[in-house]
Amino acid sequence: MIMFDEAAGWKQAYERDGFLTVPGMFSPSEVAELRDAFMAQAAEGRVEGLNTDSRIQDPNDPLYRFGRMMHPHRRPELPIGPLSMRTMLDPRIGRVLEALWDEPPVAAQSMFYFKPPGARGQDLHQDNFYLRVKPGSCMAAWVAVDDADAENGGMLVVPGSHRFDIICPEASDRTKYFSSEHVDVPEGYAAVQTVLKASDVLFFNGSLIHGSNPNTSADRFRCSFICHYAPVSSREISAWYRPLYTFDGREHAKAYVEGGGPCGTAQEAVRGPH
């Protein structure tokens, strides 16, 4: 049960900064289960429809073998499927989301990132550029499966940038980042390095500018399980995220937006947070 003072403190921090870290939300055994299950899945090779980043074709790229896995909760035939659905709809996550939004959340997306040693980072971006939740914005719950810091490419956040509308991106530096888009840090703001321990969960607003640098460590992965949510009162979301789920596992319908993205981006390019 969340105490009133605790929830009020979370909301104050989230509204001020656009993000919130809840330490130790998951147990060591729970994050080990996530890590072991996804590592075992990756050991079997790439899976059609799960490893969806077609831009990474070089077998020597660390992200070719350990490519991010998109929407694993949609694959009930795989061991990671039911585990992903259960984690995405974990009531502990749901309670924090509801405390921050003052209303129930619905789940839109699950992802697993391995980020092995030598992997490129993700350039600065805003998640609601992709999810297109209206009114309001989406929210991410970023579960640290490994300790994550500057050395292995932990998350960078720009405090306060959630107050900006979606900023139309420019092209990223593909030698440093595997993602295509780059968003400039607004004048007067700065990117801050987060330091998370395995089992911590970072919640952040869909307009918050965030990203990560390459993993420069010799032997440390930076695994993370990431989900995106929308407030139940929102009316629309990008069609790529259907079906949505309530936290009791029921499908939830919204208006699913097709066509161009918020910056005139073609729909095929708007394929989830990069």
146-169 pLDDT, tens digit per residue, is 999 999 999 999 999 999 999 999
DSSP state string for 130-192? HH--BSS--EEEEEESS-B-TTTT-EEE-TTGGGS-PPPPEE--TTTBSSSEE-PPPTT---E
Closest CA to 210 of 238, 183, 178: 183
Q: Which residues pair with 236 in a beta bridge?
A: 134, 255
The answer to whether residue 32 is domain-embedded is yes
Residue range(s) defining the domain that contains residue 22: 4-119+133-155+197-203+219-258
Q: What's the CATH code of the domain at 145?
A: 2.60.120.620
The verdict on residue 250 lying in a domain is yes
- Determine the Cα angle at 47 with ends 236 and 123, to 5°: 55
- What's the pLDDT band for 268 if we cut at 50, 70, 90? very low
Q: Enter the pTM of the model.
A: 0.94
At 101-116, the pLDDT tens digits run: 999 999 999 999 999 9
Q: Is residue 170 part of a domain?
A: no
